[in-house]
A and B are shown apart, each in its own frame.
Chain A
Amino acid sequence: MTRRKFIKKLIGAGSLVVVGAGWLVKKTVPLKYVRALKFKKYPGSLKSMSNIPTQGKWSG
């Protein structure tokens, strides 16, 4: 094997390792968020609002 071929193979293998490691990192390291985006539909049921009731029964 010539020196040129050897270096080509070395670079190829190195690139594969880098790409693989990147993929692995992307797969295992989670994306981090502070703010959440709105989800349009409420998963529960909706109730209609007429007048605002006075003094809630909840604490606080």
Chain B
Amino acid sequence: MKIQCELCPKNCLIKPGQSGECRVRLNIDGILRTVVYGYPCSIHVDPIEKKPLFHFLPGTGILSIATVGCNLHCRNCQNWEISQTNPEDSQAYFLPPEKLVAEARNNRIPSIAYTYTDPIIFYEYTYDSAKLAKKEGIRSVLVTAGYVNTEPWERLLEYVDAANIDLKGITEEFYRNVCSGTLKPVQNALVTAKAKGVLVEVTNLIIPTLNDSPQDLRKLCSWIKSNLGADTPLHFSRFFPRYKMRHLPATSLGTLKLAREIALSEGLQYIYIGNIASKEGQNTYCPGCKNLLIERSGYTILQNRLKEDGCPDCGQIIYGVWK
């Protein structure tokens, strides 16, 4: 008997013995089963700035995990070796939620990131781990494309402290042609997360010729300002030719700087440039007095001038979770 998975907007109809598009949620005897619960393929301690999260516990390490699989199939995927592979072709660790949270606690790591592929497809593992982590005082971070249905998303957000959510483009055409997804559910996920009080930062990977036009960038920034607020940090990230998009060049620094200028002119307050060295693009400046607040070099914090959660010079409150 066929079953339907209603976790993400793909709403996959799954025949017996087969999986949904994510490769990890299967129809076994008419019951939906996840084969990656407690089996991450990657575990690392990353600097939190790598997620990227610049307004959440700066300078701390974050225990980062992923399982194989993904519900999107972006032609430019940077992690396609794990996101677009089958569980049966992969190697994984056995790390159930209790052990995962214990690893964070024993190593004094203040937060856990569900990242690299997409935590939506290992939803139950993420949910149970985040719930347990909250009890232990450990924060939970999602790095996600936000391609999820509203009801499970809202339920998961109860236990999530911060999220970096991709807004990969601002047209349905881009999502359809490049990611095999749709735009609207991602926009809904962004709005819901911000409304639920989760610290939200947005990443937009700029791909030459596909989503780098000044009009699209302006539209994207304007949408963020109107729907998430001017204080939402936005990371423009450099594209590198990978997976099925090896024919395109890497994004130029000029394009990234132009995107930053457009975002600032649209009124967004915290604009960063990632995957490339750029002085202004990696520092946090006060939107009030424009003074430097946090100076970074790569993932390293060189200087943090924040006083409590505000600017030491003009007192402006800076959006973020600082300790």
Beyond A55-B46, A58-B66, A59-B79, whether A43 also contacts B87 by CB under 8 A is yes
B77: nearest chain-A partner, CB-CB: A59
Find chain A residues with CB under 8 A from B95 CB: 49
- Taking a contact as CB atoms under 8 Å apart, the answer to whether A30 and B13 are in contact is yes
By secondary structure, the B interface counts as mixed
Find chain A residues with CB under 8 A from B88 CB: 43-44
B30: nearest chain-A partner, CB-CB: A31
By secondary structure, the A interface counts as loop
Find chain B residues with CB under 8 A from A2 CB: none
B79: nearest chain-A partner, CB-CB: A58
Nearest CB of chain A from residue B8's CB, rounded to whole Å:
10
In the complex, A32 has a CB within 8 A of chain B: yes
Interface residues on A, range: 20 to 34
Bound form: Cα–Cα A35–B25 in Å: 10
Beyond A58-B82, A59-B78, A60-B79, whether A35 also contacts B124 by CB under 8 A is yes
- Taking a contact as CB atoms under 8 Å apart, the answer to whether B33 and A38 are in contact is yes
A-contacting residues, B251-287, CB 8 Å: none
- Taking a contact as CB atoms under 8 Å apart, the answer to whether B35 and A60 are in contact is no
Find chain B residues with CB under 8 A from A60 CB: 50-51, 64, 78-79, 115-116, 143, 164
Beyond A32-B3, A39-B26, A39-B28, whether A49 also contacts B43 by CB under 8 A is yes
Bound form: Cα–Cα A39–B164 in Å: 29
Nearest CB of chain A from residue B19's CB, rounded to whole Å:
10
Convert A18-37 into 0s and 1s, putting 1 for each residue whose CB lies closer than 8 angstroms to a CB of B: 00000000010011111111
In the complex, B4 has a CB within 8 A of chain A: yes
In the complex, A1 has a CB within 8 A of chain B: no
In the complex, A42 has a CB within 8 A of chain B: yes
A47: contacting residue among B26, B91, B107, CB under 8 A: B91
Find chain A residues with CB under 8 A from B43 CB: 49, 52-53
A-contacting residues, B104-148, CB 8 Å: 107, 115-116, 123-124, 143
Find chain B residues with CB under 8 A from A31 CB: 1, 3-4, 30
In the complex, B2 has a CB within 8 A of chain A: yes
Besides the contacts A36-B33, A56-B64, what 9 more A-B pairs have beta carbons closer than 8 Å?
Answer: A30-B4, A32-B3, A39-B35, A47-B92, A58-B66, A58-B82, A59-B78, A60-B64, A60-B143
Q: What residues make up the interface of A, taking CB atoms closer than 8 Å to B? A: 27, 30-39, 42-49, 52-56, 58-60
A-B residue pairs in contact (CB < 8 Å), sample of 5: A35-B7, A36-B5, A43-B86, A49-B95, A52-B44
